[in-house]
Structure 1
Amino acid sequence: DVDAIVISHHHVDHIIDLIPYGFALKFAPRQQPVPVDKWPGTDDPARPMLFVPPGAIEFFDRVSDAWGTGNLFDDAFVTSEYDPDGKLEIGPFSITFTEVPHYITTYAMDVTGPSGSRITYGADCCPNPALVELAEGTDLLIAESTLPRPERTGVRGHLTPSEAGEHAKLAGARELVLTHISDELDPDWAVSEASSVYEGPVQVAREGLEIEV
């Protein structure tokens, strides 16, 4: 039931699921041209659209070579690189991008639906005004909250829950969802930290979560 996937950057924790998913799309019995058990076979196997940042296709080719999977991404997905300076149209949705500071080139994205409702995804980033500008007035901000406290040394690349809350506050977001949180962090604590600076609804992302915007 997946029509399209959009990737913010190619750090392994954001793309590794594409490997088993790609194998399933390429080799699952229901994807094959001949009948197998209860699957009738198909001449038109599902190939979701996969939109990746500039330069990522070459990177994915190297990943496929390293895993010995040949043209896995080409066989499993309809892959193309998006223009981060343009607008990406997928069905009734339009997506705009902005680069945010991380350890590699990374793009946050703002998704607008047919009714004008918006979801802004911050990707991985440290505190930055670009995300605030992109998310201004959004209905839902999905912001990473990786760290309990800012990085001790070196270049910053992630947010704390309170920093995620600060971005939601400055952007005037209607609702905030915290994501990219370690299992070692208490989700109730993360919500409390974000709520200390942001007055809107806050919750932690979880499998199966549905939010109406």
Structure 2
Amino acid sequence: MRVHVIGCSGSFAGPDGAASSYLIEQEDADGRTWRVLMDLGSGAFGPLQKLLDPAELDAVIISHLHPDHYLDLTGLEVFWAYHERTDLGQLPIHAPEPLAERLSAVLSREGHVPDGVTCSPFDYRVITDGHRFTIGPLEIEVREVVHPVEAYGFRVTSGDEVLAYSGDTDACPALDELARGADLFLCEAGYIEGRDDRFTGVHLTGRRAGESAARAGVGRLALTHIPAWTDPSVPLAEARAVHDGPITMVRPADILEVSR
């Protein structure tokens, strides 16, 4: 299993890259490559097109409805609705229940069908805490995490390989459960100790991400969602102070191998 980092800037698109978006690729037993997108935040649809033709996507999973994790679905909808190809069908979008109405509001329209076409290009599928579903060779487990809005993290399994993705969250038992024994733990660290102590229930610090990784016994911790105003070396040092396993700081265009 591979994870392509499309965007990893925290809370908003930064000067060097887009907000959160990650493309998972995995081959099935017949050699077909499945491509599933986790989040498509502000600014991410552009660099996604450098990596692949969006018509090759098999599904999209959205962790929560903050703009830095879903807003560029507006561009993907235009692509899917008005493409010259007529065989695309509906693209499955696994997301919190309000997504369809939220996109319609952003686009100032009534209903879920874009102007000039007869049906929605997206097949909206609601995720909830504890929900499990399968996309090709990928098995996905959903857990609700701690954030100001309805938010989820994901545990993605294929064979013996396990990817855990925090989404946006503060420390919570569900996060540790998602990460338990994962080969790769893609975890946000949007805050730093001391500077952001006045905020609770919003984001992890590097230290809290490292503590979760240590409790879960992960193979490798990959820190992400670092805002443009934060020096990435700070959350990285925080995580290394409490977790002695391999730790990396992700960057746009990185390719992360899930296998240990």
Q: TM-score, normalised by structure 1?
A: 0.83
Q: 1:64 corresponds to which residue? A: 107
Q: CA deviation at 1:97?
A: 1.2
Compute the RMSD of aligned alpha carbons. Answer: 2.3
Tell me if the contact between 1:97 and 1:110 (Cα under 8 Å) persists in the aligned partners.
yes
Q: Percent identity?
A: 30
Match of 1:110 among 146, 152, 155: 155
SS in 2 for 1:101: coil
SS in 2 for 1:211: strand
Tell me if the contact between 1:64 and 1:71 (Cα under 8 Å) persists in the aligned partners.
no
Q: For residues 80 and 198 of structure 1, do their structure 2 counterparts lie closer, same or farther at Cα, with a shift above 3 Å needed?
A: same
The higher relative CO (CA closer than 8 Å, separation ≥ 6) is in 2
Quote the Cα distance in structure 2 between the aligned partners of 1:98 and 1:180: 19
Once the two structures are superposed, the pairs formed by residues 159-198 of structure 1 within 5 Å of their partners are 159-198=204-243
- Bigger radius of gyration among the two: 1
Quote the Cα distance in structure 2 between the aligned partners of 1:95 and 1:160: 25
Q: CA deviation at 1:9?
A: 1.0
Tell me if the contact between 1:82 and 1:88 (Cα under 8 Å) persists in the aligned partners.
no
Paired AA for residue 63 in structure 1: V
Tell me if the contact between 2:131 and 2:143 (Cα under 8 Å) persists in the aligned partners.
no
Quote the Cα distance in structure 2 between the aligned partners of 1:72 and 1:190: 42
Q: CA deviation at 1:83?
A: 4.2
* Greater Cα offset, 182-191 or 194-203: 182-191
Tell me if the contact between 1:57 and 1:81 (Cα under 8 Å) persists in the aligned partners.
no
Q: For residues 77 and 70 of structure 1, do their structure 2 counterparts lie closer, same or farther at Cα, with a shift above 3 Å needed?
A: closer
SS in 2 for 1:196: helix
Quote the Cα distance in structure 2 between the aligned partners of 1:95 and 1:81: 13
Alignment gaps of 5+ in structure 1: 33-41
Paired AA for residue 62 in structure 1: A
Q: 2:13 corresponds to which residue? A: none
Quote the Cα distance in structure 2 between the aligned partners of 1:72 and 1:208: 31
Q: For residues 55 and 24 of structure 1, do their structure 2 counterparts lie closer, same or farther at Cα, with a shift above 3 Å needed?
A: closer
Match of 1:20 among 67, 70, 75: 75
Q: 1:38 corresponds to which residue? A: none
Q: CA deviation at 1:144?
A: 0.7
Q: Which has the higher strand share?
A: 2
Paired AA for residue 132 in structure 1: D
SS in 2 for 1:20: helix
Structure 1 residues 30-67: Cα deviation after superposition (integer angstroms, max 9, x where no partner): x22xxxxxxxxx3313643211123433333333336x
Quote the Cα distance in structure 2 between the aligned partners of 1:76 and 1:136: 36
Structure 1 residues 93-118: Cα deviation after superposition (integer angstroms, max 9, x where no partner): 111111111101111110001x2210
Quote the Cα distance in structure 2 between the aligned partners of 1:54 and 1:121: 20
Quote the Cα distance in structure 1 between the aligned partners of 2:190 and 2:239: 12
SS in 1 for 2:242: coil
Quote the Cα distance in structure 2 between the aligned partners of 1:149 and 1:16: 29
Quote the Cα distance in structure 1 between the aligned partners of 2:237 and 2:197: 22
Q: CA deviation at 1:84?
A: 3.2
Q: 1:78 corresponds to which residue? A: 123
Q: CA deviation at 1:23?
A: 2.0
SS in 1 for 2:235: helix
Q: CA deviation at 1:5?
A: 0.9
Once the two structures are superposed, the pairs formed by residues 115-134 of structure 1 within 5 Å of their partners are 115-134=159-178
Mapped pair 1:92 → 2:137:
yes
Q: 2:95 corresponds to which residue? A: 52
Q: 2:47 corresponds to which residue? A: none
Q: CA deviation at 1:72?
A: 4.0
Quote the Cα distance in structure 2 between the aligned partners of 1:70 and 1:167: 39
Quote the Cα distance in structure 2 between the aligned partners of 1:13 and 1:198: 28
Q: Which runs of 4+ in 1 moved over 6 A?
A: none
* Greater Cα offset, 200-209 or 171-180: 200-209
Q: Number of aligned residue pairs: give it.
A: 199
Q: For residues 170 and 155 of structure 1, do their structure 2 counterparts lie closer, same or farther at Cα, with a shift above 3 Å needed?
A: same
